[in-house]
Amino acid sequence: MTDIEAGVQRTPGDTFARVLRVTDALALAGGWAGMACLVLISALMLAQVGVAFASKFTTSVRGDIPIAWEYGSYMMGAAFLLGSGMTLRADRHIRLGVVVQNCGPRMVRVLEIVSSALALCFTVFLTWSLAGAAHRAILMGTVSISSGTPLWIPQSVFALGTALLALQFAMRLACAIARVPVASEALRFGGELDE
């Protein structure tokens, strides 16, 4: 039975709240994926240290892992970009607090609208550029020199991360216009440190 058949009236506020919940869930998923990348970087670096240590005792072990720096770089970029949407929604990005703290609520809202609109334009352009680079890498079959990894794989992850950030800037802009809080307290980890 649909909402219309049940006689339930949906308001624009209900739809907006649902969209916020979906975008928050996407931001949280991006944050978890970014955290997984950080764990993998740590494991890769520990493996690199272990292999270097083992190579001191036996000549059959190579002194390094050839893909460590390349894959570490991919994962660092992925961690940064995948987690940035959640960081924005949790209001944890670095900002000029001195400006915001010395303005009234009306001016803060104007600054949020202007900065979110500009950031949205930039992140949409960045997403488009990264997605285009991934598409070109697929078409040309571009691979990494050191490992032979198809470059469209990390480029697609980077494009996804910037798309999540662009989505959060769009929602931040919508929240500022609708006079809804732009930050989600539910996405703030370690909120007790704010006090």
For residue 136, which amino acid is it?
R
pLDDT tens, 115-156? 999 999 999 999 999 999 999 999 999 999 889 999 999 999
pTM for the structure as a whole: 0.85
The tokens for 72 are 């570490």
The tokens for 90 are 């949790």
Residues 156/166/21/7 CA torsion (nearest 10 deg)? -110
CA 88/CA 93 separation, integer angstroms: 6
pLDDT tens, 85-97? 999 988 887 766 6
The tokens for 19 are 């969209």
